Homo-oligomer: A and B are copies of this chain.
């Protein structure tokens, strides 16, 4: 029984990593679909979201079964409850990637507002935060989790920079308004994904240290955009 349980926990970790991989790809394809004006990539993100949703349902089911059948104590309980939260965060990241992809399909029909400079950098940072937050989870790596939390401030800075730059462009040239607003919303979606990665990192710190840091972190650096 004990051995079986540890096998199931290992499987749960692998499921979460696979789901994380799907989410990273979804973000990457959505942003690449925008930056390289490639509708196929954006459409792939929209189409593959089903797989992410299916995985959430599967992982949630496994977690509930583990809670009900194994009645785990202390550390394992914390791990399974964290897994339940993390799969929700991953699913919502997938939704945000779909939002980005849908806006990319609209924007790709129009001339570009300006060359992309900060947005791809921001996206690369966000993707690495998603990956690192899951690595931190499966390896119980608090140091890596703290690095993810720090990344969140950088993402907020990128988002504010992009926001103000697009505002100036709209004010100067009103023909750019609707495209610029879509780009602002894409920045905001990336920022939301970073928030979810930060939630995961905070769950890791909680799981390992049993300490709740989330609201402290939020007070410190929350963006108003």
Query: Does B68 contact A74, Cβ atoms closer than 8 Å?
Result: yes
Chain B residues near A167 (CB, 8 Å)? Answer: 177-178, 181
Query: Does A177 contact B170, Cβ atoms closer than 8 Å?
Result: yes
Number of residues of chain A lying within 8 A (CB) of chain B: 41
| Given A57-B212, A174-B170: A73 in contact with B77 (beta carbons within 8 A) | no
Chain B residues near A113 (CB, 8 Å)? Answer: none
Q: Flag whether A9 is at the interface (Cβ < 8 A).
A: no
A interface: dominant SS: helix
Query: Does B85 contact A64, Cβ atoms closer than 8 Å?
Result: no
Cα–Cα, bound, A224→B107 (Å): 13
Cα–Cα, bound, A73→B65 (Å): 10
Q: Flag whether A204 is at the interface (Cβ < 8 A).
A: no
Chain B residues near A88 (CB, 8 Å)? Answer: 85, 88
Which A residues are closer than 8 A to B by beta carbons?
50, 53-54, 56-57, 60, 64, 67-68, 71, 73-74, 77-78, 81, 84-85, 88, 95, 98-99, 102-103, 167, 170-172, 174-175, 177-178, 181, 184-185, 188, 212, 215, 218, 222, 224-225
